[in-house]
């Protein structure tokens, strides 16, 4: 797996921290992978609808 560095706003950091401390995700990487999966699914739906 590749490693990436990103810059988050204070709000985004709090959201990620909340999801990790709540136990929903084990770490920030899981949060971002889940978010990217959702983005990919939304893009696929958009492209399907707009063909």
User: Tell me: the pLDDT tens digits for 1-51?
Assistant: 899 999 999 999 999 999 999 999 999 999 999 999 999 999 999 999 999
Q: What was the pLDDT predicted at 1?
A: 86
Q: Say how far apart CA 38 and CA 51 lie, in whole Å.
A: 20
Q: What was the pLDDT predicted at 38?
A: 98
The CA distances from residue 10 to 17, 37, 40, 45, 48, in Å, are 11, 23, 25, 31, 35
């Amino acid at each position: 797996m590749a490693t990436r560095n990103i810059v988050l706003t204070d709000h985004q950091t709090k959201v990620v921290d909340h999801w990790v401390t709540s136990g929903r995700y084990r770490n920030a990487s899981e949060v971002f992978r889940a978010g990217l999966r959702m983005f990919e699914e939304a893009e696929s739906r958009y492209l399907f609808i707009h063909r």
